A = this chain, B = another copy of it.
Amino acid sequence: MKLNRSHRLIAMTHYLLAHPHTLVSLSYFVDRFQSARSSISEDISILKKEFPNSNIGSIETVAGASGGVIFRPSIAPDQALERVQALCQELTDNDRILPGGYFYLTDILGDPDHLRLIGQIIASRYREAGATAIMTIATKGVPLAQAVSMYLNIPFVMVRRDSKVTEGATVSINYASQGQSRVEKMELTKNSLGEGEKVLIIDDFLNGGGTITGMLSMTKEFNATCVGICVLAEVQNPDREVAFDYQSLMQVVKSQDNTQLVEVLPGGIFDDHD
């Protein structure tokens, strides 16, 4: 009996972690474990208490015939801040400054531990935003979008700057890049996004905001709405004012001539207490 409960708690934890933001019926667990509904209910009570205690997230119970439980991952703000501070420290290196105002982040974007952390933080912040899809731009936004997608359990779509023959029909728009000085094209496969989707826009680095303004136009082309914008890092005091609301995980502070790195600080996502 004790063993059965242990077995169920381990298996249920595993199952819920792999199915975040999804209504799982009690009957699913009753069938799977061949256990009484009352035992499963007791298991759920334990999980409901221990998930927040262990900083995993919360479990909601939905009553009624079509009821069940929903696991919503979240990370405690103090733990998130502490780990991002460590990441900022790791990024504080003049070699990361690249020509053209960019900042080298590619190693972070291929690291599974960093991606898990970033995914958890962004998914925690936007867990109530009601997003139905994530939009990002290839290539470097993709790992971030995917990490968030795993924790919010909604799909992501990849906008691309280059046209490919391997995609079928696409919708393409023009946008102003690098301080309005250059017009570029971005495109998205036509059946990537449905009508009326609620889109969370994710990108790796925000300087002038041209790419994100482009993605906002793309959203309109698909008759979708944007419910949030989040970037991994932004430049403090960018060359231009940005015309949209967004959150960042980190702020990169560079010298006035943009050639030296002064500091990397936690971003606005940690100031926000709504």
B-facing residues in A1-31 (Cβ within 8 Å): 2-3, 5-7, 9-11, 13-14, 17-18
Nearest B-chain residue to A54, judged by Cβ: B11
Centre residue among A46, A102, A166 by max chain B CB count within 10 A = A166
Contact with B along A98-139 (1 / 0, CB 8 A): 111010101101111101100000000000000000000011
A107 and B17: CB pair below 8 A? no
Q: A157 — which chain B residues lie within 8 A by C-beta?
A: 110
Cα A18 to Cα B116 with chains together (Å): 8
Kindly state the separation between the CA atoms of A146 and B111 in the bound complex, as whole angstroms.
9
Chain B residue nearest in CB terms to A143: B146
Chain B residues within 8 Å of A13, by CB: 9-10, 13-14
Q: Which of A11, A14, A46 has the most CB of B within 10 A?
A: A14
Task: List 27 contacting pairs A-B, 8 Å CB cutoff, sorted by A.
Answer: A5-B6, A6-B46, A6-B50, A7-B50, A7-B53, A9-B13, A10-B10, A10-B13, A10-B50, A10-B56, A11-B53, A11-B56, A98-B166, A99-B165, A104-B167, A106-B192, A107-B155, A107-B192, A110-B149, A112-B146, A112-B150, A115-B149, A115-B150, A139-B158, A139-B160, A142-B146, A143-B146
